[in-house]
Amino acid sequence: MENRQPPRTVLRVRQLQTRLDGAPLERVRALEAPLARAAADGVDLVALPEMFCCPYETPQFPRLAEPEGGPVWSACAELAARNGLWLSAGSVPERDGGRVYNTAYVFDRQGRQAAKHRKMHLFDIAVDGGQHFRESDTLSAGSAVTTFGTEFGRLGLCICYDMRFPELFRLMALEGALAVLVPAAFNFTTGPAHWELTLRARALDNQVYCVATAPALDPAASYHAWGHSLVADPWGALVAQLDDAPGEQTVELDMARPAQIRRQLPLLQHRRTDVYTLNGR
């Protein structure tokens, strides 16, 4: 008689809040010990920050960009397979022909690419007295809503500035996502004001977990990342959060909880799609 294992409902996630220093392959090699330790600790998925192997500077993106299947991609795939872990490999600059994208890859336990997301919304902002940044000077925008299947249920994937757009999170939820992975790099202008607030709102509105992983602050870098990697739950509660220093945290996600909350507070069922269109917009 076949021995059927019950489906796994607890997803153990470890977030690695690292600095963005060093050459790309040096940054990947620096992950060898943390991933081996995560595997020994029974972690299922390790999450890395946005541009985890590249300084967050627009001129650096095309200089360090690699095609899918390049050295950084291959090294990440090998790390996932060696340790038997899911690896949300933050994001990296990806070159495709004449274009460069801010691209997030996820690898499964066998090192196969399970998901790929190109940042849809480019970070072009000019805050009076605060941060000025233009990703569109060197990056192109993606156009795909990204979800993927795991043994724990369906997950979503987006990058940093994407999280400010509720429509994208709603589409991932409607595609069945129970948790959304968000490699990100907010700064000291937007971080204190909007980081936790936005992630908890996206989690609450869509009744999903938000797992947002950021770089640590590097005072010597030109871009000062806010850090504060966090997890918010489907009730909108803050589960765990780091400060701005290099570090890591492990959180257990009860993947049955989104369905439980959606039964009690059926927001997705109560949507009025018959009245949500305004003159075709």
pLDDT tens sequence across 127-159: 666 666 688 788 999 999 999 999 999 999 999
Tell me if 144 sits within 8 A of 117, measured CB to CB: yes
- The stretch 229-238 carries a mean pLDDT of 98
User: What per-residue confidence (pLDDT) applies to 211?
Assistant: 99
Active site residues: 50, 119, 160
- The stretch 11-36 carries a mean pLDDT of 95
Q: Is the pLDDT of residue 281 over 60?
A: no
- The stretch 102-121 carries a mean pLDDT of 98
Nearest CA-CA partner of 56 in 160, 212, 185: 185
pLDDT grade for 5, boundaries at 50, 70 and 90: low
- The stretch 67-75 carries a mean pLDDT of 98
User: What per-residue confidence (pLDDT) applies to 43?
Assistant: 98
What whole-number distance in Å separates Cα of residue 193 and Cα of residue 173?
25
Q: What global pTM score does this model have?
A: 0.94
% residues pLDDT > 70 (the chain): 93
State which H helix or E strand residue 194 sits in: helix 190-206
Q: What is the mean pLDDT of the chain?
A: 93
- The stretch 91-118 carries a mean pLDDT of 97
Q: Is the pLDDT of residue 83 over 60?
A: yes
- Tokens representing 142 are 């993606």
What whole-number distance in Å separates Cα of residue 24 and Cα of residue 72?
7
User: What per-residue confidence (pLDDT) applies to 135?
Assistant: 84
pLDDT grade for 8, boundaries at 50, 70 and 90: confident
Beta bridge partners of 146: 157
User: What per-residue confidence (pLDDT) applies to 1?
Assistant: 44
Nearest CA-CA partner of 12 in 240, 256, 257, 254: 254
pLDDT grade for 3, boundaries at 50, 70 and 90: very low
What whole-number distance in Å separates Cα of residue 156 and Cα of residue 60?
27
Of 13-22, 80-89, 232-241, the range with the lowest mean pLDDT is 13-22
pLDDT grade for 123, boundaries at 50, 70 and 90: confident
- The stretch 21-32 carries a mean pLDDT of 92
User: What per-residue confidence (pLDDT) applies to 129?
Assistant: 66
Q: Quickly tell me which residue has 């795939």 as its tokens.
A: 77
State which H helix or E strand residue 170 sits in: helix 166-174
